[in-house]
Every structure is written in C-alpha cells, then in structure tokens.
Amino acid sequence: MSKKLYADADAALDGLLRDGLLIACGGFGLCGIPERLLDAVRDSGVKDLTFASNNAGIDNEGIGKLLRTRQVKKMIASYVGENKEFERQYLAGELEVEFSPQGTLAERMRAGGAGIPGFYTKTGVGTLVAEGKESKVFDGPNGPTEYVLERGIFADIALVKAWKADETGNVVFRKTARNFNVPAATCGKVCVVEVEEIVPAGSLDPDGIHLPGVYVQRMIVGAPYDKKIEFRTVREREAA
C-alpha cells in the first residue's frame, strides 16, 4: 500500500509534471472528474498542456480551471458546449481544439492502453472529422465501405477519479464515472487515481473490479467531495 498511496495530490504528482505534457483525464461532464489532481496541476504552474478528455468541464470547474489560468494549449475532446471560456479562447485563436466523436475518443484511449497505434472506423467519414486523415475501403457487412484511420492516444499521464480502490490499486468506478475513466487510465504512461475510499486488499469482488491494479501507479484519497450540478432544474412549488 505504501508504494502506491500518497498523502495528497501534490505528493502524488511530484516528479511527473512538466510543461508540454499530454494528459488523459477521466470524467463525463462534472461526473467522475479528478478534482484534487486537477487542482494540483493548476497550482504547479505547468503550461502548454494538451488534455484528452470527453469535455473541458464548465467555467472554473474541472479542466475549466486550467483554461482560466491559460495552462492548456490544446484540447482533444468530444463536447465543450458548457464552457464559455473555452469558447472564447477557441474563437480568439488562443486554444487549439481537436474534436473527436465521443465513441471514437473513448476507443482512441482504449487503443493506446492496448498498445494499438491506430484503427479504422466509419464514424466521421465524409465529415470535417475525416479531413487530413487516411481512409481506406474495406469489405464490410454491407459490401465495400469507406473507413477513416484514427490514432490511438498515448498519454504521458492519466488522471482519473474512482469510487473505491483496494490497497494494491484495484479500482471500482461508480455508474457514469466509469465511462471515460477506464480508457483514460489505461492509456497513460503513469496513472494517478484519486478515490473516495481505500479498502483492504481482498475485500473487493474480483468480478466487480473495473480497472486492475497493474494499470495504477499512484493513488490518493480525495474525499470528501461536494456534488456539483451542471444545470439545476427545479419546479415551482405548488400552491397549498
């Protein structure tokens, strides 16, 4: 346990951060984002970072915090519609953006984690997504079909957020947080996980482990957390 568990986010990232890193970051909206680790990256002052993540959080939450401090050079993402600062920087030419369809982005991370440098997919063929990329025609289930080549993502660091982990680094994610955290975790040279709870080795159901400990190099306990909501929708109170 002492080999993987660190006292806090600063300690867990010690020796890993430098300018120009490619960071794979887990999370889906504000669900399952590695809040403590992203705060530590921001506070370190490193810059010219490239983030591969489903989205850039919202203004001043998630990766949005690092956009505010101008530490992000490029985003590889699927959805960025809830971040006004992201929009402003992109339209002003201050931020490079590589849009990737959501399933393609998850597969690019998964491919990188499996050591696969590229794969062909039908997603994006004939659209802006395919511009500048190699394409080929293969015999598919419906006859000859065009596919576009997508590159696997090989990140310098993976930052992910989990629900539970045991002392050896076996990890369990909760519900929606499982979406991008798993492939993001596998594609980093070093994977740092923040969890809500560490449990004794052997206490997790082996069939319920989502990320084996072999992928995890460093861990912290980040709890307690405040549940953040992107859009709070309520109805008016009915008259008595």
Please tell me the predicted confidence (pLDDT) of residue 238: 83
Percent of all residues in the chain with a pLDDT value above 90, rounded to a whole number? 81
Say whether pLDDT at 116 is over 90: yes
pTM to 2 decimal places: 0.91
pLDDT in tens, 145-155: 999 999 999 99
Please tell me the predicted confidence (pLDDT) of residue 2: 55
pLDDT, mean over the chain = 93
Q: CA quadruple 134, 22, 174, 35: dihedral positive or negative?
A: negative
d(CA 129, CA 74): 16
pLDDT in tens, 119-164: 999 999 999 999 999 999 999 888 999 999 999 999 999 999 999 9
Please tell me the predicted confidence (pLDDT) of residue 232: 74
Q: Are strands 22-25 and 72-77 parallel, antiparallel or unpaired?
A: unpaired
Q: CA quadruple 21, 26, 30, 36: dihedral positive or negative?
A: negative
Q: Which of 150, 236, 165, 175 is nearest to 196 (CA)?
A: 165
Res. 27 pLDDT band, cuts 50 70 90:
very high
d(CA 5, CA 167): 8
